[in-house]
Chain A
Amino acid sequence: MSVEKMEMMNVIGHIGDLDKVSTEIIRSGCVQIVNALNEINQNDFTVLMPGQNVNMLTDLCFIKPYKGLSLPSEINEKIVELTSIFDIPRVIRSKYIEEDYKLEDMVSKVEQIYDEVTKHNKDLKTLKDEVDKIKFLIEDFKCIKGLQIDMQELRNMKYFEFKVGKLTKENFDKLNENIENVSSIIYELRSTPVYHVFMSLTPKPLVAEVDRIFKSLNYEEVDIPYDLKGKPIEIIDKLTEIEQEKEKQMQDINDVILQLRAKYAPFIDESYTRMKMHEKLRAVNSEVVCSNDFFYMAGWVPETCKQKVKKKLSCFGDGLMVVFKPQSDVKTSIVPPTKLNNNWFVRPFESIVRMYGIPLYNETDPTWFVALSYMFMFGYMFGDLGQGFVFLIVGIFLSAKLHHPNLGGVLSRIGASSMVFGILFGSVFGNEEILKHPLVRPMDNINAVLLGGVVVGVLFITVGFVFNLVNSVKRRDLEEGAFGKNGLAGLAFYWLLLLSACSMFLNGAMPVPLPVIVIILSLLLVLMVVKQPLANLIKGGRPLYEEAPGDYYIESGFGAIETLISMLSNTVSFIRVGAFALNHVGLFVAFATIAGMMKNNAASVAVIVIGNIVIIALEGLVVFIQGLRLEYYELFSKYYTGGGIEYNPAKAAISYDALDFTKNRRAD
């Protein structure tokens, strides 16, 4: 339940082996590659181990970033296009990742398949365009099918020119606005949402003038192809014939493509994974530097994966030099990534932590505390056996069926917590009569429930203080840890204030005289104000102030006042935990009252059901958010920075696929 330990791995090998080494590293899926040039520049690359190849280090002085050959970019596009022509899902499959292959062979085969397939595909497209055109034309002729005149005759008229054409709607309207000035007879055939198709009869001497007018409206003539003759009704028949013929041709080509699909689909499917793998390989290699003969690679490996990586790389034998060193030996400027390692129970809550930020490498992972406190608060605010059960089911469904392991996991766990509190509070879908002997009924013990929330808050805040103390010790941060408002001084101040207030209210008297307490509290406040110079004095650090002393005291002076206020407000803030517990009951009481006013039973049942849905959806959401707010604002601000880098190893991410989903499921 913590942040996993990382080790820095440095690899030196012959440049000819680079691609193979990178491939193995991607297959291992647990090395986060860092830029080797950076590391060498920091003088931090591997120290020489006794008995290893000295030659490998001699030309470390002549290094440059590695520039390998890449796949021609059009190959990627071709593979993607082929997958869409063949209608193959784009899935990365684990079995192809583990296999070795020859890149050049794959490229040439893809080229060949692409040429073969696109030839047919192009024909198909041309045919489709033609068919569309013919369909359009048939529609046009259907509008004049009553016309008993041969089209040929119309076109060969001596004194008139006959034309069919189309205009956009806007332009056709313009033509209509000025129709009295256009020396042509216009007869609209039909209109589509975009176009108006019409025929025009223009006296021959005026053709030039009318053409200019049409042209200014972007007129498009509908030409009648295939030299068709006859009356419109005959032309329609002929066009239909041609259309059917073309469609048959299309069908034939489709069959050919289907045959090709049967032949090539497995290979294209394979190539897709290869291509993705190659992209990853390129990404890894771009962080590598090389000299003439050797390459140098660096990356972070979690301690738990060290053996796995070693085993993967062992096949290279002595030709490859692999050195691991613990994080403490690496320069601090190279920040190790954070890999959270939590048990299955609290793992979904990592997403809540992640929303705020990834922990720093040497920061305590707060996930387990977030999980416990969040579940507790949600259950307390939303305690109901039945409604919690709904959350549990929805959560399980989300994580198992819809691949939302985090959201589903969080929902099912807070649902379970809600059920536990439901039993304690005696509430099943809002009904308080089914469970007879609950621990406490919120509405009968309003003060206790509210106070309970605050007590829980005090406990959580104290744990927050402890977290900050631990983190400060890890950071060796005396200033914040000992004298900061969230450090030891703050904790002492908080509890002293709390205890004195309690004894004041409960007993009416103090065990210790009041002035003593006031003096101790003031002393602690002064400590918080002078924390920086004090810490520097103790550690011997100079200068005492990081900024002008005047500025520092103004800031820390106000900081002290803010401490006082925020301690109070943070604590009181937790009263909402109790308030929402009451609110939850109150909302149901409202619905139960409405249900009681209904005349028949069906209506009151309906009201209860609707009420439950509203409560689950609306109040569930509100409580979910309020819980987050308490975690982030009241607690995280005390002890958590979340400025780390997420562990993101080089690997070919395997995508989900409906067909062999189980096989490809990610192991982690």
Chain B
Amino acid sequence: MDNTTRYASVNTKVRALEGRMLETQDYLNLLSKKSVPEIAAYLKQKTHYMDILSKADENQMHRLQLENLIKESHIDGLNKIAYYFNGVYKDFYMSLYMKYEIEDLKAVLRAIKIKKADELDYGSLVHIGIYSPIDKGTMLSSKNCRDFVNNLKGTVYYDYLQGFSNVMDDMDLFRIQMTLDLAYFDLFYRSMQKMNKSDRKIVEHVQGVNVDLLNLQWIYRGLKFYNLSPEELFNYTIGYGEALSREYIKELCYSKDIEEYQKKVLKGRYGFVFDHGRTKDILMERRILRYQHYKLITTLKKNLGMNISQVIAYELLLEDEVRDIVSIIESVRYGMAVDAAKKFLIREL
């Protein structure tokens, strides 16, 4: 199938779906709400979340409940495009669901570690079983690391986690989570190999920038908090970056201290992550997401050719919308002032 046939309909659908997304005024209105039910009511009356919220009573809505419904709507939003693909393109598109599933699997792991898997909020793990043929209940019934790994048999993750299949209670949570994360990037790259060249380039670019930024963030955190050896630091970085070579990454890993590291990064192309010394660690992630939101998505949206860029842009926009709404719900729930809350949003208001 050539790309014109493939994307003629899907791009139209993407445009239509993007037309329904929340606008700046919506975010401002949401921020001005005083309680979770008020947010729910607004979303139900004024936005495309009315479909998913119609089955719930907004007056009784808790924070988690609303967040879960929004996550479900996120999956619906992704599904709406999935129908348009088949073959290797479908395989690739489905791999977009993988990162969310891995996030949820990690949550299960953390709960297993502290022996509270049975107290985990069942409804919040909406992504488990969406990408892989696994059952949420079975995963949650895992008593220890070995159960968890064995329950993943038959999924793409199993090969990566096989080494942990004999670990009982004393699991190294950090390592197994890292393994899952690194597996994601491997699998993601594998799934896009069969797409045609122009599409692969676009996705490689988007993911490459993402990987670069994640590596920078990882090394920063590793140096500052984890006290890892440079070799370990390097081993946990992700391959497949866009602008940062492996040698450069290695050099960064061998920085003597955080100051030297900052100096090196500030000179480079991604210097903005440090915001010239006024950095608050928690805002670093926001800055990274904001960069991707504005720079990356704008580039993608400008690409009007018959290729995957519109779909990828939609996927990113949808994710950002969900993240922002969840941030707003949390800031409203915990009574944060509007101006402070704005700082935690991906978009600038």
Contact = CB atoms under 8 A, between A and B. Distances in A.
Contact of B235 (A194, A209, A216, A220): A216
Nearest to A177: B246
Contacts of A216: 175, 178, 228, 231-232, 235-236
Interface string B106-141: 000000000000000000000000000000000000
A178 B232 CA distance: 10
A178 B235 contact: yes
A185 B25 CA distance: 62
A182 B235 CA distance: 11
Contacts of A215: 175
B12 interface: no
Given A174-B239, A218-B163, A212 B246 contact: no
B275 interface: no
Interface string A207-223: 00100110111101000
A445 interface: no
Contacts of B159: 194
Interface string A188-226: 000000100000000000000100110111101000000
B231 A178 contact: yes
B163 A212 contact: no
B229 interface: yes
Interface string A142-175: 0000000000000000000000000010110111
B179 interface: yes
B186 interface: yes
A181 interface: yes
Given A194-B159, A216-B175, A174 B235 contact: yes
Contact of A178 (B179, B182, B186, B234): B234
A212 to B, nearest CB: 6
B108 to A, nearest CB: 20
A194 B183 CA distance: 13
Interface string B130-161: 00000000000000000000000000000110
A170 B181 CA distance: 14
A209 B178 CA distance: 19
B204 to A, nearest CB: 17
A209 B175 contact: no
A181 B231 contact: yes
B185 to A, nearest CB: 9
A178 B239 CA distance: 13
B175 A178 contact: no
B250 interface: yes
Query: For A175, A181, A209, which residue has the most chain B Cβ atoms within 10 angstroms?
Result: A181
A175 B237 CA distance: 12
Contacts of A178: 231, 234-235, 250
B174 to A, nearest CB: 10
A220 B246 contact: no
B229 A177 contact: no
A84 B246 CA distance: 50
Contacts of B160: 168, 218
B235 A213 contact: yes
Interface string B12-45: 0000000000000000000000000000000000
Task: Provide the main secondary structure of the chain A interface.
Answer: helix
Contacts of A168: 160
Interface string B173-194: 0010011001000100000000
Contacts of B163: 218, 220
Interface in B172-226: 175, 178-179, 182, 186
Contacts of A194: 159
Contacts of B239: 170, 173-174
B77 interface: no
Nearest to B250: A178
Interface residues of B, number: 20
A194 B156 CA distance: 13
A212 B250 contact: no
B305 to A, nearest CB: 32
Contacts, number: 44
Contacts of B231: 178, 181-182, 212-213, 216
Contacts of A175: 235
Contacts of A213: 229, 231-232, 235
A283 B226 CA distance: 60
A170 B246 CA distance: 14
Contacts of A220: 163
B235 A171 contact: yes
B236 to A, nearest CB: 6
Contacts of A174: 234-235, 239
A153 to B, nearest CB: 29
A302 to B, nearest CB: 40
Nearest to B253: A178
A182 B232 CA distance: 10
A170 to B, nearest CB: 6
Interface string A15-53: 000000000000000000000000000000000000000
A491 B239 CA distance: 74
Contacts of A170: 182, 186, 239
Nearest to A173: B239
A212 B179 contact: no
B145 to A, nearest CB: 14
Nearest to A171: B235
A170 B188 CA distance: 14
B175 A218 contact: yes
A216 B182 CA distance: 11
A197 to B, nearest CB: 14
Contacts of B254: 181
Interface string B241-266: 00000100010001000000000000
A220 B228 CA distance: 21
A209 B186 CA distance: 27
Nearest to A174: B235
Contacts of A181: 230-231, 254
Interface string A614-626: 0000000000000
Contact of B229 (A173, A212, A218): A212
Contacts of A212: 229, 231-232
Given A170-B186, A218-B175, A177 B250 contact: yes
A175 B234 CA distance: 9
A380 B159 CA distance: 61
A213 B232 CA distance: 5
A181 B178 CA distance: 22
A209 B229 contact: yes
A538 B232 CA distance: 91
Interface in A214-246: 215-218, 220
A610 to B, nearest CB: 27
B178 to A, nearest CB: 8
Nearest to A194: B159
Interface in B285-306: none
A174 B236 CA distance: 9
A181 to B, nearest CB: 5
Contacts of B246: 177
Nearest to B178: A216
Contacts of A209: 229
B189 to A, nearest CB: 10
A638 B160 CA distance: 61
B15 to A, nearest CB: 32
A543 to B, nearest CB: 34
A638 B106 CA distance: 60
25 contacts: A168-B160, A173-B239, A174-B234, A175-B235, A177-B246, A178-B231, A178-B250, A181-B230, A181-B231, A182-B231, A209-B229, A212-B231, A213-B229, A213-B231, A213-B235, A215-B175, A216-B178, A216-B228, A216-B231, A216-B232, A216-B235, A216-B236, A218-B160, A218-B163, A218-B179
Interface of A: 168, 170-171, 173-175, 177-178, 181-182, 194, 209, 212-213, 215-218, 220
Given A178-B250, A182-B231, A218-B160, 7 more contacts: A171-B235, A174-B234, A177-B234, A178-B234, A181-B254, A212-B232, A216-B231
Sorted nearest first, the 3 A-B pairs with minimum C-beta distance are A216-B235, A216-B232, A213-B231
